[in-house]
């Protein structure tokens, strides 16, 4: 038997103003679309903005459904839209923000497991890392240089 160690590294920004201008803009787009999320059941709103290599910004917010789990997370709404409308474009950066209607989220909220797997599929497909920035409603913002930091043992097509 042996043990392996896996480490992840993130940059931490104390405020939105510390982010580079293009990421500030992307996160502000994510914040704006978060407010339009359809979240009557969880009262937890998530907004995502993707920057594509063609310069387009694709937005997504979570969409819930009474017939749980028929809804869809903000990240997958945006990723699947980008993949269907711009199938040849690469996703360069993703900004994610989450807020609760019942209490203020102060910790960075990362993508859920299903969204991590969906982001992984596109990162593998395009053969380039996707920068991921995530935050709560307020507080620090984490930046991951690649989805591999969030999901180091990715399941992909090579296992099929």
Does residue 75 have an active-site annotation? yes
CA distance 89 to 16: 27
Which residues define the annotated binding site? 62-68, 73, 112, 115
List 3, 18, 29, 75, catalytic entry: 75
3-state helix/strand/coil string of 50-101 = EEECCCCEEEEECECCCCCCCCECHHHHHHHHHHHHCCCCCEEEEEEEEEEC
Residues 6+ apart with CB under 8 A from 3: none
Contact 135, 15 (CB under 8 A): no
Q: Which residues define the annotated binding site for substrate?
A: 62-68
Q: Where is the binding site for Zn(2+), in residues?
A: 73, 112, 115
Instruction: Compute the distance between CA of residue 76 and CA of residue 42 in angstroms, rounded to an integer.
Output: 17
Catalytic residues: 75
């Amino acid at each position: 038997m042996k043990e392996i160690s896996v480490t992840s590294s993130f940059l931490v920004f104390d405020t939105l103003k510390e982010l580079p201008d293009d990421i500030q803009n992307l996160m502000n787009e994510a914040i704006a679309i978060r407010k339009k999320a359809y979240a009557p059941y969880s009262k937890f709103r998530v907004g995502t903005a993707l920057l594509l290599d063609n310069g387009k910004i694709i937005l997504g917010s979570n969409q819930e459904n009474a017939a749980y789990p028929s809804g869809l997370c903000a990240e997958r709404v945006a990723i699947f839209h980008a993949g269907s409308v711009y199938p040849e474009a690469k996703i360069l950066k993703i900004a994610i923000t989450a807020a609760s209607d019942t209490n203020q989220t102060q910790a960075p909220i990362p993508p859920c497991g299903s969204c991590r797997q969906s982001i992984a599929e596109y990162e593998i497909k395009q053969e380039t890392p996707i920068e991921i920035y995530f935050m709560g409603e307020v507080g620090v913002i984490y930046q991951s240089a690649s989805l591999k930091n969030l999901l180091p043992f990715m399941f992909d097509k090579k296992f099929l």
